[in-house]
Amino acid sequence: MSTHTLALCRQAPYGSALAREGLEAVLAAAAMDQAPDVLFLGDGVFQLTADQAPQEIGQKSLYRNLQALPMFGVERIYVCRQSLADRGISTESIAVPGIEVELVTDPGALLARYQHVLSF
């Protein structure tokens, strides 16, 4: 998908399969050296919270998929600052090892840089 594509992730984990399948699409593209940039916005920021333990609901941890991103060359993610604030999530609590989190205050300006935006 490469850097002319932005993956826009807006789904909370576990409640929607598209959260997982969106990350899988990003990882698959990255494995082919076509990693898109990734923006977490809206409920998508819930994907970034630590302490996810979905074993009892029969799901695999989505956070683990996130941790795999640096292995495939995705070393920076964009996160909407306002979406975090709206949900009472502190910026310190969304660290993913090996990934630089770039907080975005103007997501519209970010979107404008890309030819394609794939919504997940």
Partner 1 sequence: MALHIVNRSPYRSSALRDCLNTMAEGDALLLIEDGVYAASASAQAGAMPAGTYCLGADADARGVSVSDAIARIDDARWVALCVEHTPVVSWF
Partner 2 sequence: MKFSLVVYSAPHAGEAAASALRFARAVVDQGHELYRVFFYADGVHHGSALAAPPQDEQDLLTPWQELRQANDVDLVVCIAAAQRRGVLSHSEAERLERPAANLADGFELGGLGQLADATAQSDRVVTFGGQ
Which H or E run contains 82? helix 81-86
**C-beta neighbour count of 42 within 10 angstroms:** 17
Q: Does 87 bind partner 1 (CB under 8 A)?
A: no
Q: Does 109 bind partner 1 (CB under 8 A)?
A: yes
87: Cβ contacts below 8 Å, ≥ 6 apart: 43, 45, 46
Enumerate residues 50-79 that contact partner 1 by CB under 8 A: none
Record the tokens describing residue 102, joined without a space: 């770039």
For the bound state, the minimum distance from the C-beta of residue 77 to partner 1, rounded and expressed in Å, comes to 17
Q: Please check whether residue 110 is in contact with residue 77, taking contact to mean a CB–CB distance below 8 angstroms.
A: no
Q: Does 5 bind partner 2 (CB under 8 A)?
A: yes
* Of the residues 6, 62, 74, 77, which one makes contact with partner 1 according to CB under 8 A: 6
Enumerate residues 15-34 that contact partner 2 by CB under 8 A: 17-18, 21, 24-25, 28-29, 32, 34
How would you write 6-19 as a 3-class SS string?
Answer: EEEECCCCCCCHHH
Q: 80 in helix, strand or coil?
A: strand
- Which stretches of the chain bind partner 2, using CB under 8 A? 1-2, 4-5, 17-18, 21, 24-25, 28-29, 32, 34, 36, 116, 118-119
- Which stretches of the chain bind partner 1, using CB under 8 A? 6, 8, 10, 41-43, 82-83, 106-109, 111-112, 114-117, 119
